[in-house]
Amino acid sequence: MPSDNIILVGFMATGKSHVGRIIARTSSRRMADLDEEIVRRARKPIHRIFSEDGEAVFRAMERHAAFTLCEGGNKVIAAGGGAFAQELTRQVLLDSGTVFCLTARPETIHYRISRGSPSAAVRPMLASGDPLERIRQLLDERAPAYAYAHHAVATDERTPDQVAETILNIYHHGAEGQGQTPVQQPGGTR
């Protein structure tokens, strides 16, 4: 499988799809959104897949879609928030390109979701309990998986254009690129 894809992973509402479209446009790559591909294949929205079929079915669909999207190379691939936490899906993504984990503080994520941004569609993983606490819990659970990303870029104080520019700088100029930050580990350590 070619290894020239730029793959964006990270928690929901960190800007993966928006930033991915900017990178694709400015680098003459094809944009592929894993969640959009799943919706297209299932012919129903993600929240319905979760409620009608369950998370296990969704994750299997996600893994198959990731494998298909990664073929061919020269793409920007935006993965769903939990995709990289799934070992088999994570390996497919790591093997097919350079993986960037987009990060944000829990409060930033909560704000982005609650303000009604385009990324604030129905979120099955936040459907019960205190959303901010659930965000913190999921970030802690997923941090070990996110640490496998080749690079991490914080999105809190950056516009999507700035995040895209940072990613392209790192991609073209190596690990010492401007804006690289370590992935946040559980308990706030790095």
Which domains does the chain carry?
5-188 (3.40.50.300)
Summarize pLDDT for 44-93 with one digit per residue, the tens. Answer: 999 899 999 999 999 999 999 999 999 988 999 999 888 999 999 999 99
More confident residue, 1 or 71: 71
CA atoms within 13 A on the CB side of 13: 26
Position 16 pLDDT exceeds 80:
yes
Query: What gap in Å lies between CA 186 and CA 141, rounded to an integer?
Result: 7
Mean pLDDT of all residues belonging to the chain? 86
pTM: 0.85
Position 175 pLDDT exceeds 80:
no
129 conformational bin, left if phi > 0, alpha if psi -120 to 50, beta if neither: left
